[in-house]
Chains A and B, each alone.
Chain A
Amino acid sequence: MSERHPSGQRSRGRGLIGEAVIRREDLPLITGRGRFTDDVTLPGMLHAHVVRSPVAHARITGIDVTAASQAPGVAAVFVAADLDRLGVGPLPGADNLPPGSRNPEFPVLATEKVLWAGQPVALVVAETPATAADAAELVDVSYDELPAVTGPLEAAAPDAPVLHDGADNVAFVKHLRSGDPDAAFASAAHVVRQRMVSQRIAPVALEPRGVAAWPGDDGILEVRLPTQRPHGARNSLAAILGLDAERIHVDAGDVGGGFGAKGPMYPDQVAVIAAARALGRPVKWMETRSESFLATTHGRDQVADLELAVAGDGTFTALRGTVHASFGAYFTSNAPSSLLGRLGPMLPQGYAIGSIDVTLAGVFANTTPIGPYRGAGRPEAAYFTERLVDLAAAELGQDPALVRRRNFVRNTDFPHVTCTGLTYESGDYQVGLDLLLDKLGYAGLRAEQARAREELPGETLLGVGLGCFVEPGGITPGVPGPDGSAGDQATVTVDPSGKVTVSVGTSAHGQGHQTAFAQLAAALLDVDYEDVTVVFGDTATAPFGYGTFGSRSAVAGGTAIHRACERILAAAKRVDAPMPLAEAAARLGGLSATAASGAPPETYASGAYGCVASVDPATGRVTVERLVAVDDCGVVINPLLVEGQVHGGVAQGLGQALTEQVAYDSSGQPLAGSLMDYAVPFAASLPPLECHSLSTPATTNPLGVKGMGESGTLGATCAVVNAVLDALRPRGVRHLDMPLTPEKIWTALQPHGS
């Protein structure tokens, strides 16, 4: 079967932008011929097993690897001292911290102390995965256990057990202050206060993490890594291993989902790569799912104490309060940016709020390190603000839709600079909300709800919830590429036969970039879609780039491709007469151009989501009846892919709202360590999703696109929670923290419930 387009679709030219082209990456994946990291098998390959701390906080008083080293099939056992001798590590900690922050190094294998249950302590390398696992049982580690602390507030308390050197666990504090928040609160007619938790959750990409590494030709270190950032991984590895980056080849292959968690370089992966170098043989390691719950970064884990000042006419005037964010035992490289660059600055959302006074505190705790997880600060900001907005509407006695509309940044006020200093380039939040209300049949739902409350007070509780949001996307890190140019790079080559190859420094793990970027290049160059090949994910064949995270690739990779295509079109004009690109390329012996994106500004997509939910008061069980999404991500390259991103984000947002939580006991032992007790949504957890869109093009990049890969986690979390709490409001329930499990809801509904 060849690639198909729904009938009537164009296969070339500008019209390709916006076409729902069926994905070209699917054929190998639906026939079992993908190339995932675990599919790599090489002659002489060894297999690794990571020995992890079984306790959350302890001093290591001894490690005896004698028995393990002598076990059948074992090639080597590595502990921290072995890696020291090899000149490996540590991981450097976090980027972009405020001045004065603490930023402890992150050891590859634990040395004196372990700081979370699951921290790597030793690595066993053996002939088969089973013999490595058997021998790992023989590694004898002695622990002198210490008291542990797991929650953000508890870890920030002055008497908490301290993880790292220093007086406490507070790694940094940053204040966001602008406008005149004191005056706004002093003159406010209403002040709405709430403590809200965005609970710790696990990304659960279906492919667990892993790595395969081996010594290649010419002394090149070959690394197969399921990563969102191939060049970033290569550069991190170079620094950690003390190698020249040019001596390392990273190939991501097919990556089975990431959601942020496959962005950072992890200590266990570094240990495996170091072992392959030391042993001069291929070594592979894949984490098990249960191991993943201990070893792969989690997301969220913040507690917000926030207040919203509201004037007598219902206008929001200021936000203030404190957000405590746990980062787990160590910083991963870009985790603090989720709080500092996203959660804090995005608290105003789409509302024209003039003043802010918010303190952001980052703390360490005896838990798995936090990393970016789909949204990475954005869903938390949207959730905290959208909860406050609903509480404000309740206090004002006004409809939540009306209160939102009154406070939105008006469509005539773009570009809009927030009180936190961000510039929203375009949007139309009123029209988005109106479209949602229309699709929901909002007025009818409210009438139905009022009738049900009147006539059937003891029966099923009906709730309608809104979640409006602004989603920043398209960030370009401030570190320039190896040639000093800013942003991701793209190389476009037209060979004399007219075939086009686009290689780009962004890298996909399910998003459909092969298809979208082929559409883009075919449109820009006016060539046939089928004549364009897209390459990424391999540092040997793709030019430098930052990979894919933070809803960045359409903006950043797309802009780089646009610039490279412009250069191609300019170069093609060297022929003496106007002619199609393929002919010009044939005359000129082929064309090639590389361009960098130049770090386009971030874009601000937006959305309005609605949820209709019912709650059975007898059991506390929530049924999500409807989920309606309205997204505005500017110019859409492929609506099929955009809707797919919305669907996935909505499911993850609903998971956080209703079922997912990484919980720990007081000693730091995880209570959810497998898919048996960590509840990701199933097919039957979701209603059919109703997706709609509008488009206010971005004005800050040549394509007009806005990053949107995380929108569902923003809109769905807010809308679902607001719907459930809307249902519970007549029963006197003001707020409950996620996940809204039946037990939590049932307890709240009891006469003496909290």
Chain B
Amino acid sequence: MPASTGPAERDVAVTVTVNGEPRRERVPARTLLVHFLREQLGLTGTHVGCDTTQCGACTVAMDGVAVKSCTVLAAQADGHEVTTIEGIGDAEGLHPVQRAFWAEHGLQCGYCTPGMIMAVRQLLADNPDPGDDEIRRGLAGNICRCTGYQNIVAAARAAATMLQES
């Protein structure tokens, strides 16, 4: 069958508020949110680490709730607000979770890190003072292959303290 006639390839218009800025693009209907962010908008901080929604490297916030952007169509984000790693803090003003990952050596290669930070952000929104076991269970949707999670857990704890003190 010829490759470009299905409904999946038909372009759709989507308007998504990304990191506070309204973005209007036409994309093939099958475009995933992660590819929309990376390729249409050039927001390459959101990473792709798997194709089965296991690794969590693509985690972003949609309407303030963490989602895996590899499992959301760009079209499903139409009319919604998306926050990516680039939107939560930068060199001039880091988010407490970013600061905690840095201070606690919570990253090595850094590939899982944006998704991990977005997941910790959600975890602390749900549970501002989690214990270690709650942190470990709460990160079940995110895989890191470098750190053994030890310093990610420490970073989550440190971030909880920072957020509670601020």
Contacts and interface: CB of A to CB of B under 8 A. Distances in A.
Interface string B125-150: 00000001101110110111111111
Contacts of A259: 145
Contacts of B102: 1, 22-23, 26-27, 30
A305 B22 CA distance: 65
A675 B55 contact: yes
Contacts of B110: 25-26, 28-30, 34, 254, 256, 510
Nearest to B9: A130
B44 A39 contact: yes
B48 A38 contact: yes
Interface of A: 1, 4, 22-23, 25-34, 36, 38-39, 41, 71-73, 130-131, 134-135, 137-138, 203-208, 254-257, 259, 286, 288-290, 509-512, 640-641, 643-644, 646-652, 674-676, 680-684, 686, 688-689, 712
Interface stretch (B10-18, B72-80, B82-90): B82-90
Contacts of A73: 3-4
Given A73-B4, A682-B140, A686-B150, A31 B90 contact: yes
Contacts of A22: 102-103, 105
B68 interface: no
A36 to B, nearest CB: 7
Contacts of A39: 38, 44
Contacts of B108: 257, 510-512, 644, 648
A32 B136 contact: no
Interface-central residue, B91, B102, B108, B132, by most chain A CB under 10 Å: B108
A674 B50 contact: yes
Query: 10 smallest A-B Cβ distances: which pairs?
Result: A32-B45, A256-B111, A29-B110, A510-B109, A647-B148, A32-B85, A651-B148, A675-B54, A510-B108, A289-B50
A135 B111 CA distance: 30
B3 to A, nearest CB: 4
Given A206-B57, A207-B47, A712 B148 contact: yes
A207 B45 contact: no
Interface string B12-35: 000000000000000010100000
B90 to A, nearest CB: 5
Contacts of B152: 683
Given A30-B102, A649-B148, A650-B148, 5 more contacts: A73-B3, A206-B112, A206-B144, A683-B152, A686-B149
A290 B49 CA distance: 10
A138 B111 contact: no
B47 to A, nearest CB: 7
A289 B85 contact: no
Contacts of A644: 105, 108, 146-147, 151
Interface of B: 2-4, 9, 28, 30, 38-39, 42-52, 54-55, 57, 84-86, 89-91, 94, 98-99, 101-103, 105, 107-114, 117, 132-133, 135-137, 139-140, 142-153
B86 A138 contact: no
A64 B161 CA distance: 62
B144 A29 contact: no
Given A29-B107, A32-B43, A288-B51, A647 B150 contact: yes
A674 B45 contact: no
Contacts of A509: 109
B131 to A, nearest CB: 12
24 contacts: A30-B107, A31-B85, A31-B90, A34-B111, A39-B38, A130-B30, A131-B3, A203-B145, A204-B145, A206-B49, A206-B57, A207-B111, A208-B49, A256-B49, A257-B146, A288-B50, A289-B51, A290-B52, A510-B110, A652-B145, A675-B50, A675-B52, A681-B149, A688-B150
A1 B146 contact: no
A623 to B, nearest CB: 12
A316 B79 CA distance: 71
Contacts of B39: 41
The listed residue with most A CB atoms (<10 A of its CB), out of B42, B43, B90, is B90
A277 B55 CA distance: 34
Contacts of A676: 52, 54
B154 to A, nearest CB: 9
Contact of B137 (A674, A684, A688): A684
A680 B143 contact: yes
Contact of B28 (A130, A208, A254): A130
Contact of A257 (B45, B54, B109, B149): B109
A292 to B, nearest CB: 9
A399 to B, nearest CB: 29
A647 B90 CA distance: 28
Contacts of B38: 38-39
**B-side interface mostly:** loop
B30 A674 contact: no
A674 B3 contact: no
B93 to A, nearest CB: 9
A1 B113 contact: no
Contacts of A712: 148
Contact of A289 (B30, B42, B49): B49
Contacts of B105: 22-23, 640-641, 643-644
A259 to B, nearest CB: 7
B42 A72 contact: no
B36 to A, nearest CB: 13
Contacts of A686: 136, 148-150
A1 B112 contact: no
Contact of A689 (B94, B146, B150): B150
A712 B151 CA distance: 15
Contact of B145 (A23, A130, A288, A648): A648
Contact of B99 (A1, A131, A208, A652): A1
Contacts of B50: 288-289, 674-675
B52 A688 contact: no
A595 B43 CA distance: 40
A683 B55 CA distance: 12
Contact of A32 (B49, B86, B137, B148): B86
Contacts of A681: 148-149
A159 B130 CA distance: 59
Contacts of B148: 646-651, 681, 686, 689, 712
Nearest to B153: A683
A72 B89 CA distance: 41
Contacts of B30: 130
Contact of A205 (B43, B136, B145): B145
Given A30-B113, A135-B3, A650-B148, A207 B49 contact: yes
Given A257-B111, A674-B51, A32 B46 contact: yes
A131 B3 CA distance: 7
A25 B51 CA distance: 28
Contacts of B113: 29-30
B89 A31 contact: yes
B99 A683 contact: no
B142 to A, nearest CB: 8
Nearest to A126: B3
A30 B145 contact: no
Nearest to A684: B136
Which of B4, B111, B136 is the most central at the interface, judged by chain A CB atoms within 10 Å of its CB? B111
B70 to A, nearest CB: 10
A643 B54 CA distance: 27
Task: Name the residue in A26, A680, A688 with the highest tally of chain B Cβ atoms < 10 Å from its Cβ.
Answer: A26
Contacts of A510: 108-110, 146
A688 B132 contact: yes
A34 B140 contact: no
Given A256-B111, A682-B139, A688-B132, A36 B47 contact: yes
Contacts of B98: 30-31
Contacts of A134: 3-4
A208 B117 CA distance: 20
Nearest to A374: B145
B152 to A, nearest CB: 7
B122 to A, nearest CB: 14
Nearest to A259: B145
A291 B4 CA distance: 24
